[in-house]
Each structure stands twice: as structure tokens, then as C-alpha cells.
Structure 1
């Protein structure tokens, strides 16, 4: 008697439906990163990976500062397609920790004008030591426009994300960017206690002289020396008034929790 071969089992799709938790994790990985592995296409067509320092624009677009002497700069000028791996890691198996790979298109940012000034300010707020060489003639800022992303939140937690899942609303980002510099200076000068409460009360970080380094529609960036923290807002803000209310409400929550 002959038997029929068993029917092949249907392979389960490893990609989960994108939900708010995945979006929040992806935004945190992007907004918190200080460095990443940038993959470019060499002139021979072979992929090449380099370590780059990183910041984000007001809407979350990744920003890099690179030298004309670096091979990846020439690669980006010849072919702007690239990808960026952000993998902060942690204790134990590195594959058990969340990481994200971004599909990107590089664009050189002109030094002159409003965009150039904003990009320089936000990059140096995240990477203050880069002030030593940021204005050298052979260094340039690039904005890396997001085309999509692959998020791995740990074993069995894979997601495909769009640019809309990662980036802040453009109008909200523009509104917050217009008042960010003054708001950051004001908070650091007059509300250091609130910033300290954000770090210790809400983010459970060690006590110390924390500073506010950046604001955007989805959260605030804090730093103490080389240590950086991301304070995500419970809901996006869309204008200056909403940002002020959010900072006041979070300060009250932070002090209550401390």
C-alpha cells in the first residue's frame, strides 16, 4: 500500500501587525540613539558599513555629520540609498534586545538658511563634542529621509514600519522647532528642578544635573555628560501652547512620583 506525501505546512508570517506599542518602541530607538551602523553602496556595488554619530531633526529624520575624506560620504554622493542599524543592546544575548534597521535616502544639507542652522543646533545638542570639527570645510551634514523600517523588538517580535509610523507630523514638528531653542534655554535656566524630576521621577535615572537638550512633538531629550535619556510624551503636541502644558503636567507627575 502506498501513502501520499504529507502536505507541506504553511509557513507562518513572522511579521506582526504594526500597533501603537511597536510605533512607540521604534520612535524611542530612533530618538534615543547617539550612534548607528550606516550601510552604503560602494562604487564596486558592494555594501559597506561604517559607524556614525547620530542625531534627529525635529520630525525624527536621522541626521549625520560626515567628512569628505570618509568613503561613506563619497558613496552617499554617488548613490544616496543607504540603511542604518540602531541596536543599543544590553545584558545577555544581544539578539534578545530591540533593534531597528531604517531604509533611507541621503540628502546633503546646505549650511546656509533656516534648515542648516536648525540641523547644526540639534546635532550639536546631541553630540556636543562634535563642535570641535563641525564647522571644518570638509565636513557636511546629511539628512537621511526615511523610506521604511524593519523593527525587531526581541525574539518573535518583528514589524515592518512606514515613514509615517516613525516620523512626527510635519506641521507639528515645524511649530515646535520654531520655539525649541528658546524653550530649551528657558527650561535649563529657570526650571532645572523640573528637568531633574523628569529624569529621576519619570525615567528612574540617577540623580544629578540633568539638562534639556531638545524638544519635538513626541518627546524631550535629556542629557547628563555622555548619558542621554528620552522622555516620550503620552500624546503628541502640535503647538507651543500644547508643549508648555505638557511640560507642566509632566513636571507635576514627576514630582508626585518622586
Structure 2
């Protein structure tokens, strides 16, 4: 019997991360959770003059499939860098008390591209409503980071690499859910604030506001806090979404 058959996957070296599918922890779930819940991160680009790495702080949202989204000004060095060299990376780190290196963080590498997709604008401004003050300025534009890979450090002895398909959701068959997202979000915020508080109870008291829905879960904010809440099972249409939300609220009220 091979060693990995007896005790699970074995690292070849002390610093070598596991492929996500072989990791002895939920690397894909942890990575997707960071993608959805971290509202700002470090953007690393290649400087236009000498190609040196250039890191800056940016605010982040996600598209329905988890693609990282940014609103950037052409007056910023990182935007000029991206227009010349689209290759870049984003560091997602939620942080917390104590040693910052003890908390999970995710680096996503890929290529950034400008996008005028109305859904991108809507999802970004739902997560960062104050950005609407300057989102329409002619020197600002929305960018999507098309991932090529991810590197997750989940804390001590928890490292994994991820492919683009492991980072992002497959939206095939969920087109109606994506199309109906804006209406569902508006309805939940207007009429079901109590349910949103139940969903996000583990993240603390609200009031909580829903910013986005996707086949895997929902994104909520309360002031500077964020919460990612997963459904019991993935949903692909509005009917399944309604049933899941009703069941989740009922279970929360019953303390289950």
C-alpha cells in the first residue's frame, strides 16, 4: 500500500503546497470564502518604467462567478501599469487578532482587463456604495482580474494551489439566477431585513445588507464588516433560491 493511500497525501517537501483537490482541508471552500468576503487587498502590478513589482491597496468586489472586480483611476500608477502589462496578482487577507501570519490569505494571479459590463458596475457598487461618488468620472473604469491560478495559505500547515476553475463558480444552468439577482437582492433588503440578520448571526449583530447572490451563497455587509453565507446546497434557479432562503431562516429561528 502506498504511503498516501494509508495516511492521505504526502508533501514532497516541507514548503510545497498541496493541489487543492488533494489538500487535507477544504482549500477550495476557504479560498472562495476569502474571495467573496475580503473587501480590499494588495494589487501587485509590473511598473511601466523598469518592470519592478509595484504593490498598492485597492477595493475589491466579485462577479457572480467569483471573478475579482476593481474600480481604478487612470491617474493611478497601478492602472497605467495594467494598461501596459495586464499580468498582476491580488492578495486577499482578512486578518484578525494576534499574529497576522496565523490567519488565512489568498493570492490570485492572472490578467486584468477593462470591462463595461453593467453587471460588474452593479455588483461593485453594491459592495462599495460610496464609490458611486466617483465611479462615473471619465478617468475611472472597472477592471476584472481573470484568474490563472491561486495560492492559499490557510494558516499553519495549510497551503494549497488552486486552478482557475477551482477558484471560480461554474454558472452554466444558473443564467436565470444571475439575471434575477438584482431584483432578489432589492426584495430581500427591502422586505426581509430580519432574515438577513438571521443568516449573518454568526458574524455579529447588524443591521446587515445583502450585496449579492450567486449559486453557492450570499454576500452581506454591515458597516465595515462582511459576511459570506453559504446555502445548505447550491442553487441554480430562483425557485430553489427561495426554498433555500426560507429553510435557512426557519432553521435559524429554531436554533438549528
- Does the pair score TM above 0.5? yes
Measured in 2, the distance between the counterparts of 1:216 and 1:235 equals 12
Residues 40, 81 of structure 1: 8 Å contact kept: yes
Which runs of structure 2 are paired with 1:1-258 in the superposition (5 Å)? Answer: 11-12=13-14, 14-19=16-21, 21-43=26-48, 44-110=50-116, 116-172=117-173, 174-200=175-201, 203-206=202-205, 208-257=206-255
Residues 96, 154 of structure 1: 8 Å contact kept: yes
Measured in 2, the distance between the counterparts of 1:40 and 1:147 equals 15
- Secondary structure of the structure 2 residue equivalent to 1:177: helix
Residues 103, 146 of structure 1: 8 Å contact kept: yes
Compared CA separation, residues 243 and 187, structure 1 to 2 (3 A): same
TM-fit CA distance, 1:204: 4.6
Measured in 1, the distance between the counterparts of 2:157 and 2:207 equals 39
Aligned to 1:3: none
- Listed one character per residue, the Cα deviations across residues 16-59 of structure 1 (whole Å, up to 9, x for unaligned) are 24247111100000000110100001121111001000000011
- Secondary structure of the structure 2 residue equivalent to 1:89: coil
Measured in 1, the distance between the counterparts of 2:96 and 2:173 equals 33
**Number of residue pairs matched?**
241
- Secondary structure of the structure 1 residue equivalent to 2:20: coil
- Secondary structure of the structure 2 residue equivalent to 1:183: helix
Measured in 2, the distance between the counterparts of 1:256 and 1:71 equals 52
Once superposed, which parts of structure 1, at least 4 consecutive aligned residues long, lie more than 6 Å away?
none
- Secondary structure of the structure 2 residue equivalent to 1:171: coil
TM-fit CA distance, 1:256: 1.4
Residues 35, 53 of structure 1: 8 Å contact kept: yes
Structure 2: gaps spanning 5 or more residues: 1-11
- Secondary structure of the structure 2 residue equivalent to 1:92: coil
Which protein has the larger Cα radius of gyration, Structure 1 or Structure 2? Answer: 1
Normalised by the length of structure 1, the TM-score is 0.88
Measured in 2, the distance between the counterparts of 1:226 and 1:23 equals 25
Residues 58, 173 of structure 1: 8 Å contact kept: no
Q: CA RMSD in A?
A: 1.6
- Secondary structure of the structure 2 residue equivalent to 1:130: helix
Compared CA separation, residues 173 and 60, structure 1 to 2 (3 A): farther
Aligned to 2:5: none
TM-fit CA distance, 1:175: 3.0
Structure 1: gaps spanning 5 or more residues: 1-9, 111-115
Normalised by the length of structure 2, the TM-score is 0.89
Aligned to 2:9: none
- Secondary structure of the structure 1 residue equivalent to 2:226: strand
TM-fit CA distance, 1:170: 2.5
